[in-house]
């Protein structure tokens, strides 16, 4: 519930879209797994190509954050890595929900900078956490 609320709040200030996907396990590279889920969730179909996916495999302690084409062209090269490091720091302190809410808020601020909210904006992607078992 807190995650969905954080996504809704972040998206209320931007035309960008944020999703969070959680798996139990990730047997390979979390970046590749995140890309796979990004495509499965059809996040590339947003009008402005400005979707962001936070991918977490909690049992294997792996995560990745990826953005679509247009947001990736705008953020600094190390932005996703820095955001991921902050999230890892929160998880190490066992602040799972608060860390994720903060990461979503930070990502929302970055999206707002490059993709401001416009009056006729529609919510293109679900705000609920998507879950799978992972591999």
Q: The domain that contains 79 carries what CATH number? A: 3.10.310.50
What is the structure's pLDDT at 27? Answer: 87
Domain contains 123: no
Residue 114 lies in a domain: yes
Q: Are 51 and 31 in contact (CB under 8 A)?
A: no
Residues 65-118: tens digit of each pLDDT? 999 999 999 999 899 999 999 999 999 999 999 999 999 999 999 999 999 887
Does some domain include residue 8? yes
| Domain membership flag for residue 37 | yes
CA dist., res. 59 & res. 49, Å (int) = 31
Q: Does residue 130 sit within a domain?
A: no
Look at residues 61, 59, 108 and name the one whose alpha carbon lies nearest to residue 83: 108
pTM across the whole model: 0.91
> What's the rounded Cα separation, in Å, for the pair 8 and 22?
18
**132 domain residue, yes or no:** no
Q: Which domain holds residue 21?
A: 2-118
For the beta carbon of residue 102, count every other beta carbon within 10 angstroms.
16
Q: Among 7-11, 25-29, 118-122, which is the least confidently predicted range?
A: 118-122
The answer to the question of residue 108 being in a domain is: yes
* Helix and strand element counts for the chain (H, E): 5, 4
Q: Average pLDDT of 19-37?
A: 94
pLDDT of residue 91: 94
pLDDT given at position 119: 78
How many structural domains compose the chain? 1
The token pair that represents 128 in the structure block? 């609920």
Pick from 32, 24, 31, 92: nearest CA to 57: 24
Q: What confidence tier does 120 reach under pLDDT thresholds 50, 70, 90?
A: confident
Tokens linked to 129: 């956490």
**pLDDT surpasses 90 at 132:** no
Q: Quick check: is 46 in a domain?
A: yes
Separation between Cα atoms, residue 51 and residue 66, nearest integer Å: 8
């Amino acid at each position: 519930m807190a995650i969905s609320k954080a996504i809704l709040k972040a998206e209320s200030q931007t035309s960008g879209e944020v999703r969070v996907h959680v798996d139990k396990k990730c047997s390979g590279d979390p970046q590749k797994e995140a890309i796979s889920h990004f495509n499965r969730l059809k996040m590339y179909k947003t009008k402005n190509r400005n979707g962001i996916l936070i991918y977490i495999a909690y049992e294997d302690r792996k995560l990745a954050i990826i953005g679509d084409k247009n947001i990736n062209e705008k953020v600094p090269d190390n932005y996703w890595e820095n955001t991921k490091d902050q999230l890892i720091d929160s998880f190490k302190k066992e602040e799972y929900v608060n860390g994720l809410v903060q990461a979503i808020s930070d990502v929302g601020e970055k999206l707002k900078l490059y993709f401001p909210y416009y009056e006729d904006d529609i919510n293109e992607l679900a705000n609920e956490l998507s879950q799978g078992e992972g591999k």
